[in-house]
Amino acid sequence: MLCLLLERPGELLTRDEIARALWPDGVFVDADHGVNSAVNRIREALGDSASSPRFIETLARRGYRFVAPVERIGNGSGSSTPTYGSDPLERAPLSGDSLHILTTIDELPKVPHPVSRNLFLGFQLMYLGFYIGALANLAEIQDLLAPLTHPVIVFTTIIVTAAILIPVRAFLLCAVLFRAPRLRDLYLRVWPFLLPFDVLWSLSPFLLLHHINFGLALAATALLIWSPFVQRSLILMGAGSATER
């Protein structure tokens, strides 16, 4: 079972494919139970879990895939070619050596699925609060932006990005709550596009300068700049993974 997964790292291996490979025609077994048992034994040996997979990810009702990086070693050549899973942000280093900027799944702690899920949901609700709060106080924000050089551009940017990002956050909330298949893959692909918006909205505390002072707004902004990277880490820790059923 483990060899089957290692032959196709990062790819879906369906339950039917596994059953055909493990049991020849004419052998009658409870394939579902046998496959589940094999996966559970591999996870036990590797110290892995279904809720926060570091090696084997369950794709509900479809099958499994090996998500850790796999290195193929040539026959006596002494050279090796690293093969990664389908998540370039998650696995591949940014240069030829082991240095990288973004956290990989192997560098993150294992946490219970409800913890990573609830924290991720909290971030989405926080952003929704920013967008809706800004749209509900446009007159106050317009007055606050009046001394700027190009207040109309800033004001329009706030309205447009808030209107675009509200459905995006609503989608992420529903996707995590209902455990959408392959959510982690999808999020890692769109994360680079969400990053500039999240960084832009990290300035949202300055929209509250009528109610808070500059120092507090600056401190809140510094924390919010970190939030998109936290969300990415939470997804890698299992916030968007479907648990074993």
Any idea where the domains of the chain sit in the sequence?
2-86, 113-239
Q: H/E element holding 73?
A: strand 70-73
Distances (CA, A) of 8 to 43, 63, 64, 98, 189: 18, 13, 11, 23, 21
Closest listed residue to residue 66, CA positions, set 48, 78, 80: 48
Closest listed residue to residue 42, CA positions, set 54, 27, 31: 54
Q: Give the pLDDT score at 103.
A: 79
d(C-alpha 131, C-alpha 125), whole Å: 10
Name residues whose C-beta falls within 8 Å of residue 93's C-beta, 6 or more positions apart in sequence. Answer: 99, 100
d(C-alpha 89, C-alpha 100), whole Å: 10
Q: Sign of dihedral through CA atoms 13, 17, 19, 21?
A: negative
Q: Give the pLDDT score at 7.
A: 86
d(C-alpha 69, C-alpha 139), whole Å: 52
Q: Give the pLDDT score at 216.
A: 94
Token code pair at residue 95? 């240069």
For the chain, report the end-to-end CA distance as a whole number of angstroms: 19
Would you write out the chain's pLDDT as a tens digit for each of its 245 residues?
A: 888 888 888 888 888 888 888 877 766 777 778 888 888 888 888 888 888 888 888 887 788 888 888 887 765 554 454 454 444 444 444 333 333 577 777 778 888 888 999 999 999 999 999 999 999 999 999 999 999 889 999 999 999 999 999 999 999 999 999 888 888 888 988 999 999 999 999 999 999 988 889 999 999 999 999 999 999 999 988 887 654 33
Q: What letter would DSSP give residue 96?
A: S
Other C-beta atoms closer than 10 Å to the C-beta of 38 total 16
Q: Give the pLDDT score at 89.
A: 42
d(C-alpha 46, C-alpha 205), whole Å: 45
State phi, psi for 33 to the nearest 5 degrees: -65, -40
pTM: 0.59
What is the third-level CATH fold of 2-86?
Arc Repressor Mutant, subunit A (1.10.10)
Token code pair at residue 242? 């479907």
Three-state DSSP class for residue 83: strand
Q: Give the pLDDT score at 184.
A: 86
